[in-house]
Structure 1
Amino acid sequence: MTTTSSQKIESVVNGIDTKQVQQIIDAVKGNPAVAQATFSTTTAWASGFDNETAIKDFELGKNRVARPQAFRVAGDHPPELLGTNRGPTSVELLLAALGHCLASGWSTYGAVMGVPIQELRVQVDGDMDLQGMLMLPQPGAVRPGFQEIRAKYFVKSRAGRQEIEQVRKLAEDLSPTRDSLRAVRFSSDLFIEN
């Protein structure tokens, strides 16, 4: 993630302050313990598949970080899966979390590499056989979770394909969410738009 002497280094690229990124890297190099983090959520069940999760404080470097207010995430199932459609399913939220993480990686690593991203859409699809959660044809015969997850990136950038491919590789390889899903086969496609 270094730049060549011919590259102009901008302070803010893709909405990321590259100087702040370097400050964080330097701080962690000096004291790796500051990079230790614990994130938490609390889910309250209402009825059936209707739940609401609150996300508020987290720990960073043994320090509690308090947000001014909690984020609230509704969860449910559609009627076809016995829910009331008050929110997305948990597996859809999982795909959304992966999409968020990959998009953030594109922004961050693109900024550090000096690759401007004008537009980015990340589509994440996952294949699942619902027989697994229904214990069919017998418990354990079919995996209850995703069998494969695929991402498609629709990117608009002035950078060349090789640079864009490097950003893609870093965004995927260094994604904490993708790493957490490493037991699931993952693939991606890149579409550069003009």
Structure 2
Amino acid sequence: MTQATMTQTKVDNGVNVQALIGAREALEATPAAAQFKWRATCQWVNGTHSRSTVNSFFGLGEEQERPRSFTVDADHPEVFAAEDNAPTPAEIALTGLASCLMGGVASVAQHRGIQLYSVRATVEGDMDLQGILGIDDEVRNGFGTIRVTFNVDADASQEEIRALVAQAQKRSAVFDCMTNPTNVVVDVA
């Protein structure tokens, strides 16, 4: 049992668990509404620099428009004869994994009554560039191994923290995308 549960202290990790539970119940009752399409558009800037924009998605049975757009730039470092204007796409993928797991940790902690004080995730991915550069066709283009290390300060035992991170991993969409084959269709319009 967590410290928060034993003392009945109100836990506030900034997650509205009641709204999440309500959404889950609504989607259980109407499975078609759970079908979402996330989108991004990407525009070439110059060289290897690009800018992606995210502003709308399909969900709950209809188009959803956010009140503002978000942009994410990507580039490559100078060691690749690029301008290093932004993180590489591979680094952005790592931040997606970290952010998805982090959101899960906060949500699961709130639901379990665990007060978080600080949470830090360090994500590191190993990549052999011989594949990307066409030096060796036997080397895969993507990550060989990705390591995620959490440092969590919370009103919880190490066992509870491990279980909290494991549950976040179990429900992470980005973890699933990175660890299971995903059908990706590339087309030219």
Which TM-score bucket, shorter chain as reference?
A: 0.7 to 0.9
- Alignment partner of 2:152 out of 150, 155, 158: 155
User: Partner residue of 2:82?
Assistant: 83
Q: CA deviation at 1:9?
A: 7.3
Distance 1:9 1:30 in 2: 32
The C-alpha deviation readout for 1:125-166, integer Å capped at 9, x for no partner, is 0000000011113xx211011000000101100111222111
2:57 equivalent in structure 1: 58
What is the SS of the residue equivalent to 2:149? strand
Q: Is the 8 A contact 2:48 2:82 kept in 1?
A: yes
Percent identity of equivalent pairs: 29
Contact 1:41 1:53 in 2 (8 A): yes
Tell me the distance in 2 between the aligned counterparts of 1:9 and 1:65: 38
What secondary structure, in the 3-state scheme, does the structure 2 residue paired with 1:131 have? helix
2:73 partner letter: A
Deviation string 1:10-38 (CA, Å, 9 cap, x unpaired) is 87631111211221121112112222111
Is 2:175 aligned against 1:178?
yes
2:134 matched to 1:168? no
CA distance in 1, matches of 2:11, 2:70: 27
- Match of 2:72, as an amino acid? V
Pairs aligned (count): 178
User: What's the counterpart of residue 190 of structure 1?
Assistant: none
The answer for unaligned runs of 5 or more in structure 1 is: 185-194
Using the TM superposition, give the Cα deviation of residue 61 of structure 1 relative to its aligned residue in structure 2, in angstroms.
2.0
Unmatched runs of 5 consecutive residues or more in structure 2 = 182-189
Paired with 2:64 and 2:7, the residues of 1 have a C-alpha distance of 35
Question: RMSD in angstroms over aligned alpha carbons?
Answer: 2.0
3-state SS of the aligned residue for 2:67?
A: coil
The answer to whether structure 1 residue 123 and structure 2 residue 117 are counterparts is: no
